[in-house]
């Protein structure tokens, strides 16, 4: 495929195409399309999250982390981005840093875990 295929159509067309590639587990192709969308509208969270997921699933963990941090810079209470960042850091062997984000994600989503000692 050539570059014009990825750039073809409206932003909505490209968003739909990226989602189709992601669902087909063609993560690198989805990321290629989403990269252009993120450049055009860096303030939108959904394309960045899907781009981060595409990077995560294709083991491009540093890039996933970069996109997730960009989402959290814009929206610090985005619980799914916190969860994904925690999982991304875990995959990189950064357990201590991951634990912080995973706890924040749980708190933001209202999951406070089981009470200790039956309390």
* pLDDT attached to residue 115: 41
pTM for this predicted structure: 0.84
* pLDDT attached to residue 2: 52
Per-residue model confidence as pLDDT tens for the chain (119 residues): 455 676 788 899 999 999 999 999 999 999 999 999 999 999 999 999 999 999 999 999 999 999 999 999 999 999 999 999 999 999 999 999 999 999 999 898 887 564 444 43
* pLDDT attached to residue 118: 41
What Å distances lie between residue 80 and 28, 40, 53, 108, CA to CA? 21, 23, 11, 9
* pLDDT attached to residue 8: 82
* pLDDT attached to residue 119: 38
* pLDDT attached to residue 69: 96
b/e burial code for range 90-119 (CB count within 10 A of at least 16 → b): beeeeeeebeebbebbbebeeeeeeeeeee
93 sits in the region (left: phi over 0; alpha: psi -120 to 50; else beta) called: left
- Measured distance CA(89)–CA(99) in Å, rounded: 9
């Amino acid at each position: 495929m050539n570059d014009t295929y990825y750039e073809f159509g409206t932003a909505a067309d490209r968003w739909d195409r990226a989602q189709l590639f992601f669902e087909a587990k063609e993560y690198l192709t989805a990321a290629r399309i989403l990269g252009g969308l993120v450049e055009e509208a860096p303030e939108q969270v959904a394309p960045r999250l899907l781009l981060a997921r595409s990077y995560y699933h294709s083991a491009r963990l540093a890039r996933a982390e970069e996109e997730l941090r960009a989402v959290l810079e814009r929206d610090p209470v985005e619980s799914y981005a916190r969860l994904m960042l925690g999982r991304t850091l875990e995959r990189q062997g950064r357990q201590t840093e991951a634990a912080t984000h995973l706890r924040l994600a749980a708190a933001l989503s209202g999951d406070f875990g089981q009470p200790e000692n039956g309390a």
